[in-house]
Structure 1
C-alpha cells in the first residue's frame, strides 16, 4: 500500500488542511491593538506550522524507506526533496510566527 495514503496520514493531512483554511490574521485583534491576543494567535500559528513541518519530515522518512515504491511519474529523490522543501518552509514560517509573538509580547509588558 502506498504509505502516503494510509488512513492515519489522510486524517492528519485533512486536519492540517482544515486548520490552514481557517487561520488568517484576526483583523479585529490588529484593529484593537490587542497585543495579548496577537501573542496567543501567533503562538497557535507556530504550533500548527511546526506540526506541518513534522508531518513533512515524517513523509520524507517514509519515502526514504527501501520498501516504498514510488509511482512511475516520480522518483524517490523528487518526493523526498519536495517534503524537505516543505519542511524547511514550515519551519521558517513557524520561526517567523514565534518572532512576531515575541515582538507583541514585548509591546505589552503585562503579558507573561
Structure 2
C-alpha cells in the first residue's frame, strides 16, 4: 500500500469512528486534535487516543487498557497481535474506560 492509499483508508476509519461516537450518545468529548489524531475524553477525564501512524502504515490506539496497533488486511483494520477488528475492539475499549456501553458498529 502506498502513502496515499494509507492516508485515504486511515482517514476514512478515523472519520467513521468520529461519526459513530456522535451517533452513540455516550458521555464523551472527542475531537480531531491534529491531522490524523483523534482524542476521546471520558467523563472521568481519562483519554483514549486513536491516531494514524504513517511510518508503520497502522492505526494506533492508546488507552488505559494498553496500546494497540491495527493494520489494513485488504478488507478491514486488524489488531496486529490478536486479530480483532478495529471498530469492535475500540467499542470494547471505550466501553470499559468510559464505564458505559458504547458501540461503534453499524
TM-score, normalised to structure 2, is 0.29
Question: Could you say which structure has the greater relative contact order, defined with CA pairs below 8 angstroms and 6 or more residues apart?
Answer: 1
Structure number with greater Rg is: 1
User: What's the TM-score once normalised by structure 1's chain length?
Assistant: 0.28
> When you count helix as a share of all residues, which structure comes out higher?
1
More strand as a share of residues: 2
